[in-house]
Chains A and B, each alone.
Chain A
Amino acid sequence: AQRVTQPEKLLSVFKGAPVELKCNYSYSGSPELFWYVQYSRQRLQLLLRHISRESIKGFTADLNKGETSFHLKKPFAQEEDSAMYYCALVLYNTDKLIFGTGTRLQVFP
Chain B
Amino acid sequence: NAGVTQTPKFQVLKTGQSMTLQCAQDMNHEYMSWYRQDPGMGLRLIHYSVGAGITDQGEVPNGYNVSRSTTEDFPLRLLSAAPSQTSVYFCASSRDRGGYTFGSGTRLTVV
Contacts and interface: CB of A to CB of B under 8 A. Distances in A.
Contact of B59 (A44, A86, A88, A98): A98
A71 B77 CA distance: 36
Interface residues of B, number: 26
Contacts, number: 57
Question: Main secondary structure on chain B at its contact with chain A?
Answer: strand
A97 B45 contact: yes
Nearest to B90: A44
Nearest to A33: B98
Contacts of B43: 44, 86, 99, 102
Nearest to A2: B59
A97 B33 contact: yes
Contacts of A17: none
Interface of B: 31, 33, 35, 40-45, 48, 50, 56, 58-59, 90, 92, 94, 97-105
